[in-house]
Structure formats: C-alpha cells, structure tokens
Structure 1
C-alpha cells in the first residue's frame, strides 16, 4: 500500500511536470546549438551571424558568429550592427500603436484621407477615400510592390512627402482588401501618417518611444549614418566566394525608412523581443505601449499566399503560415502559435520568431545575399533554436541542415555566374545607337537615361542603377547591372538579365518595375527639369517629373489666350 502511494505520487508529479513543460536550458544545450550554427555557417559559407535567444522571459544568449569583416579580420559579437530590413515593419506598427493610444481621435480604421486631408490621393477614388492604417500595414491596398526603384534608390534629396505624393500614380492590380500584395511603399505611407499626427519624424518617434526606453543604444537608421565601422558588412557571392558590397547601398532605404531602414545588434534585439513577449512592457515591467492597441498588430488581416510551408508526411514536422497581421505574420510551428517576420536588404538576411504562449523569442541576422542557400540557412538555425527552447526533439541535424530542403524535396541547383567581370556587349543589329539615346520617364517611377559610353549603351536609373544594354533584336534588349549593383544580375543564383523592350518608333520603353505583376512603360521626350550632373558618378538620380499634366496644360492655354488677346489688340 505504501509503495502504491509513492508510485501514484511520483507518477502524478511527472505528469504535472510534463503538462507545464517544466524543463531547463543547460549550458550543454547552448554549446550544442553553437556547434550546430558553426557547422552550418561552414557548409553554407556564411560570413557573419548575430543570434539572440529569449527563454522564459530572459535573454539567455546574445552573441555573434563568424566575421564582421573578412578583409579586416574583425569577428562578429553581440554589439555588431546588422541591417534588419523588413523587421523594421514591426517597429513601425508598434510606433503607430503608441501614437493611436495617445491620440484617441484616430484608430486603425480611420481613413487616411481624414488624417492627411484632401490633398491625399491614390490611383482611384475608392482607395483614396477608404484606405486606412489597417490596410496599409496589412498589405491590403491591391497595389504591387514595384521593387525596382527601391533597389536602385531614390534621389538623395527626395523627401518622404515627395515620395508619398508619387504613390498616387502607381496602378493597382486588385480591388482593395481582396488580395495580399506586399508593398514597402505603403509602410512608408503609414510612417508618414504617424509623422503628420504627431508633428515629429518617424525616426524621432522610434527613438523616443522604443530605442530610448528599451536602452537600445546601438540601434539606429542605416540612411542616417556615415560610418559603418561597427557593422557586420554585407556580402554577395560569386561561385560561393563572398564579395563585399558597397555599404552606401543601404542608403536606398531612404526615404522609405518605415519599411526597412533600422539596424540593430544581437544585444539590443533581446530588449525588442521582451517588449512583445510582454505585450508592451519592457524588461522592468514598465508599460511602454497600450496592451489592447498593440495586440491589434498581432491579429490576422489577410490570408497570405506565401510559399515555404512545411507539411507532414513529406517533412518530419509541420510549419504553416496563417495570415499577415500588421508588421507580423501568424504561423503554427509544430503545434505552437508563432509570430514572425523576415527581413532582407542588400547584403543582409534577418528572421525573428516569437512564441508568445511560451515566452520564447529568437532573432538571427546574417550577412550575405539570399543566394547560396542563405534563406534556407537562417530558417534552419531558427528551427533548431526553437526546438531547443520549446523542449522538442530536433528534426534537423548537421547533415540535413546543410542539405535542406533535401532529403525531403529536391532543390534547384545553384546557378553560378561565369565571372565577376561583365562581358562586353556585341552590337549585332542594324539600328544606330543614337536612336535609343535619351530620357524616358514615368509619373510614378521617375526617369531613366540611356546614353552612349565607350561605344556602348548605358542605362542609368536611380541613385545607384547603372546597366549595360545587350541587343537581342532591334527593339528587345537584355540589361545587366554594373558597378555598385553588379550582384543583381551576376552573382550566385542571380544570373538572369533584365529584359526591356522599346516601341517600334523608339518613343517608349517597357521595363519590369514589378517582375510579378506588370511591366511599366516609360515615355520618351517627357517634360523634365534635366540636370546632366545628376547622371554622373555612381549611378543616376531619378529626375523630377512634371506629374500634374492638367496644370501644365492649363498654363499653356492661359499663355495662348494671353497671346491671342495681345495679337487682337495689336491689330
């Protein structure tokens, strides 16, 4: 009888421990994970990595792996700075939650037009009159991402207000609130709305509301710094060999900063994770953001057609996206609710996972483009980390992490460039080069310039965009990026040139501004304020284009009318 009571007590205690998930993370667990990360970095040739782990509301690891600079042999540590790309979006939605809680006359569903006034316009009246913050932050506007201008960079002196004004010329491809279409432009607009409500810049709001109270002393904005000596530097790859990118390319995040301009460190990101695991409270328990308003950013806004889901029985585990929220996505990983977002900016890849019900959070940022299997690598690191922190048996080992998604599904072989040196174009068509030379413009996306240089045609677009033209036919050309953005069309997994097409009379060209939804026409001989100096040096600026053709026509008619009056009086 006594033995039975002891057995029942021990069994009940064991069941209770299993039910509450009572386990601890040991130094041996951390060391095993570090070995896993180092092995993966070796097989994937990852240059540098920052990693942060939060368990049971405590930061248990904030560390660096690999090199911040190969050339200078500087290692990554917990203070190394990484550009976190679109992880910035959650900072923007959190700031807006704070702004709304302090300005109750506005909420997530207030039409943007009611905040910005009648001067605010989008492509059509339905969007202009009805778009709200929930639509902007949930990617529900129905307008494509139009990424190419963001890649090449807007002019250095473009204000956020000017940037926002041009959005009205971007054509939609779907009715409002019917389709998830990711766009950085509308996160910039959301940040601009916060600026108009408060009278302070988005950067100032992030600093005041988040960085300062969270003691994120080594975090900031990549477009506001002049020295990158404390950064883990960005790289791309040629035949698995890392090649350093120009740090100034990070300035392409301006003026769309609310979509992706923040940099941070493994140490600082621990504080950011704790804020959200505690729904608006910092690590000391102080309430920084209203709980109810912040929780709204975690709620699903739109079902997402994102790829990369894992399902049984093909994979050992299930990992599926449910929805896009506001700066976050909702997923289910091995039965656990997960909030997350990824981030990518030239030379960097980042990923952040939160398991709110378990008070677990993981952040990783690595240098190197998403070629060379890096997008898979960062996901495998977070998967292995999550398994450890959730007390689950790991489904990845050193071998399968390096081969992922194999052996479960076959992956496409990496396409390698021939060389870092771009081949010279061969002019094998009858049309003269001068027939293509000139300015081509679009009201939404600015201006391109085609010019002759050393018996070749060069296309300049944006702050850093410079491309060589390779004739295919009289009207069809392939273009390859050179100089700062060389890796876009000539690095591992990025060897396909961009195809552009001229009209038969050479009065316009069609360029794939958005490669998923539509090509965009740039017209020749448009009304421009041309400053040829803008096209010198390291890429050209997008020129100021006269958008309001109605105003231009009215001015012309007024001058014509005045001329007629003077002519009649003279005679």
Structure 2
C-alpha cells in the first residue's frame, strides 16, 4: 500500500555530466514502482521516504502499515525513530551555540564543564573538545549492551561517571563509533547555553523550521504513538511487534545520540535546511552558515585502518571519513553527506548532495535475518538519486530483491552465545550460591545475581536487562535466557555470562560480552 503527497518542480541540473533528469511525473511513477516492489519482495512492514531538490519537496510518502494488526497505512505524517541520524541534530545544536558565541569548537571541555570534570586520563581531560566528541575521537566502544539495559542515570550523572567508561584506543588515535560522547556533547552544549537539549531541539530546530510532527523519545505521548510506525522483528518465521513503549527508556537515556522520531514531511524540511546553508524556507538565516558547514567537514578517517578498499557495488560508493554527526562519501563521483541510524527494528538513512541540491531520506520499521536493513535504505536512496542526477539506475526490481552477484548478502551470523562444548542445562552449578551478590562498576553501576522464589539463579542489570542463568558444561559459564522485554532485542537465544575467580578460587567478578566490561564485586 502506498500513500503519498507529491509536489513537483521542473528544474535544470548544472553538473556537466548530467543531461536528462527524469520529468516529475515519470520520477514519481518509477520511484513508487521500485519501492513497492522492494516492500513486497523484502516483506517490509512499513517504509517512509522523502526526496527533495533544493527548496522543493519532489516526493514524500509511505508504504506498508504502521501496525500489522490494525493495518493503518504509513503516510508522510507517520513517525519513525531514526536512531543515530539524531546525531546530526545534536551537532547542529553545537553549531548553533558556536555561531552565537556560546561555545568554541576547539576549547577544552573542562573550560565549559568546570575544573572537576575528568575523562579517562589527564591528556584527554585537558585536551578533549566538543569536536572530538562529535567526531568519535575518544577511542570509546559503543557499549550498546549497557545502553540497552538502561542504567537509569541522569545526563549529569553520566557526565560524572564518564571518566570510568573504559576506552579501547588512544585519544584521537582511531575512529571508534560510540553513542555516549554525544550525551556528553549535549551536556556541554547545555552548560554553555543554559538551555536543556530537549528544549533546544524544539526551540531552535523543530519550531523555526515548522517541523510540527517531529518528536524526541523523552516527549513521546500516547497521541504520538498513535502516529508512529511500530517496529517488528522476525522471530520464529513470523513478525513480532516490538514493545516500543516499554523499551523507549533505552533511547531516552541517550536521546542526543538516537532519540529523534520524525516523519517524511518534517524530514524534508530538515534536509532543505541543510541544503540552504542554515536558512529557513523564507530565506532567513537561522544558524551561522560557517558554523554549520564545519559539521560537514571530514574530521576522522572511518575505514578502521583498512589500507585497501574493495568496492561492493558496480558503482563507486566510497565513505572514507566521519565529520561531526555526519559521514562523508562519494557516490558516482559526487560528494555526499549522509548518515544512517537504527534502533529496535527501525533503520533509516539520510543522504544529501551539497553541490546538486538533492536529498533523500528512507526509513523502515522491519528487522529480519532474511535481508540487510541498511541495504534497503541504501537502495532507495541510490535509485532516487540516480533518477534526479540524470543517470540510468543501476538497480532495478530484480537486482534489488536478489542483488547477486555484487551484493549477495552473507547470512547474518549471530554471535555464538556459548562455545560448542558448552550446552545449556540446569539453572545452577555446584555451590551456585557463591555467585550471589551485587557486582559493581564505577561507570555503569550495579549488577545483581540472586535466587528467585523457585531457587532459580537469575541476574538483573539496569532497568530492562534481567533473566535466568542456565548452567553449561564449562565451569563458571552460564547461558542467559533473557526475560521480557529484551528478548526482542537480542536475537541470539542467550549469551555467555562468565564468573571470574582470583588465584585463591574466590569469585571476584563477572563478564558479559554485550556489556563489554567486567564487574568487580562490591566490597
């Protein structure tokens, strides 16, 4: 099912290699046919798309359903969570603060946050800037398991605990993508401007741009949920509706990194704002253009140290660097600024061509081991861009659904929850009571291992992560059977939960792979 609002403009492209962009009606027809086929062959529950050209919305609309149960159609007003596409909103607020003289890109964070602020070492503490946070230069892992569990800390408490978040690489040594630096960035912007991140999102972005439908996770109401496409996960050969209202605390805690909910109508306004260099639709300069342009500049190589890049597709699609809340790329020889995002079973992609004035956003609400979420949004973006660039699309209905030979996706391999010698068995091991107690990490908080009323060994960490521990054939290694609601998040049926002993054989900590740290016991 397709629902769309379409407005068209006849335009002339000035790029020398472009000769015959498609006409407006032809564009809509081809795009709708292509997307509907993609929705059908991938069995997507819902998809939204918007396409802009400079100051005009070329196409916006929806495909599929908000919910499979009620079958309300997705429209241009249906909200989708955009995950890490939120990061560009936070970097734009930083540019706004810089443009108003409230903040400088390269002043140490300690100058803004105060002398008591500390990072993992003195060098980071004295030198780190908001540019480093927004460009992922801290060498800090993502800690998605910690995020998913929801530590239930305020933004201020996360800032205080930030020094204890372990880092993997040296400062400014390697690009390493992480959500928590954007939480710290938001706190820095708040301190510099005196305005909460949530308030600034509405006052400085949503309202001035007329984005009346856009929301953030922390402010979602029942009315907002009624306009939202709920996400679905493919479990046991059927789609299961994710418990979005229960799990929303996951993104509330990291709102500046992943909390935006938006529709196609408002995403068009957001992209056009960037294509116009920070101006609103009337031409008024809302944000200092130079400060905004700084967020698009390459800041960090993002190829993870790979020396040779092997193209995956039959057209060039090279994404070598990260800017601030945006990625830099080339598509068919043209510079792009883009970002992707995912949360729960949502996935989205924003792409714009600064020199050509083209922008595309695509979002889906489906996660399945049968296809790659990111490929779906890439394909929509590239197909629409090719049409507007006057290029013959290299994708078609057949290659997008079965994209061999260049994009035959390897079957998704879930991380093995336990090694092959370890098989889940009973709920305890000999002397299992020695595992009981509170385990504590100075950055992430408390994890508790306990016996329930039926003498089953269980664990709890944060607000949402809790479950049963099943013993295995490997000593001190347990197999996790997660409770609601996070059973919807972790596709693997369980994962290693290992207790650590000291030389005297006493249990002194625990290690859980998706938490990415060991918790020493409380003394």
Aligned to 1:296: 294
Pick from 149, 160, 163: which aligns with 1:165?
A: 160
In the TM superposition, what whole-angstrom CA distance separates every residue of 1:141-186 from its partner, at most 9, and x where no partner exists?
122222211111122xx32101211111012222211110111111
Pair 1:281–1:474, CA change in 2 (3 A):
same
Q: Which has the higher helix share?
A: 1
The answer for unaligned runs of 5 or more in structure 2 is 1-11, 416-422
**Separation of aligned partners in 2, 1:369 and 1:412:** 16
Aligned to 2:50: 52
1:132-531 equivalences in 2 (<5 Å): 132-155=129-152, 158-227=153-222, 228-248=225-245, 249-305=247-303, 315-369=313-367, 371-373=369-371, 374-404=373-403, 406-414=404-412, 426-427=425-426, 430-453=429-452, 454-472=454-472, 473-490=474-491, 494=492, 497-503=495-501, 504-513=505-514, 519-526=516-523
Which stretch of the first structure deviates more once superposed, 170-179 or 212-221? Answer: 170-179
**Separation of aligned partners in 2, 1:16 and 1:325:** 27
Shift, 1:456, TM fit: 2.5
* SS of aligned partner of 1:75: coil
Shift, 1:495, TM fit: 5.0
Structure 2 length as normaliser, TM-score? 0.89
* SS of aligned partner of 1:357: coil
Say whether the 8 Å CA contact 1:510–1:520 is kept in structure 2.
Answer: yes
**Separation of aligned partners in 2, 1:38 and 1:379:** 15
**Separation of aligned partners in 1, 2:479 and 2:213:** 43
Pair 1:390–1:247, CA change in 2 (3 A):
same
**Separation of aligned partners in 1, 2:119 and 2:311:** 46
Q: Runs in 1 of length 4+ with deviation above 4 angstroms?
A: 14-22, 306-314, 414-417
Say whether the 8 Å CA contact 2:427–2:456 is kept in structure 1.
Answer: no
Say whether the 8 Å CA contact 2:119–2:162 is kept in structure 1.
Answer: yes
Pair 1:498–1:72, CA change in 2 (3 A):
farther
In the TM superposition, what whole-angstrom CA distance separates every residue of 1:228-270 from its partner, at most 9, and x where no partner exists?
1111001111144211011121221123211111111100000
Pick from 114, 117, 131: which aligns with 1:120?
A: 117
**Separation of aligned partners in 1, 2:462 and 2:217:** 18
In the TM superposition, what whole-angstrom CA distance separates every residue of 1:289-324 from its partner, at most 9, and x where no partner exists?
101111000000000026999978863211011210
* SS of aligned partner of 2:66: strand
Aligned length: 496
Shift, 1:447, TM fit: 1.0
Pair 1:416–1:449, CA change in 2 (3 A):
closer
1:2-17 equivalences in 2 (<5 Å): none
Shift, 1:416, TM fit: 9.3
The answer for unaligned runs of 5 or more in structure 1 is 1-13, 418-423, 527-571
Pair 1:17–1:521, CA change in 2 (3 A):
closer
Aligned to 2:33: 35
In the TM superposition, what whole-angstrom CA distance separates every residue of 1:17-68 from its partner, at most 9, and x where no partner exists?
9656463433122122111111111121110111000124311111111000
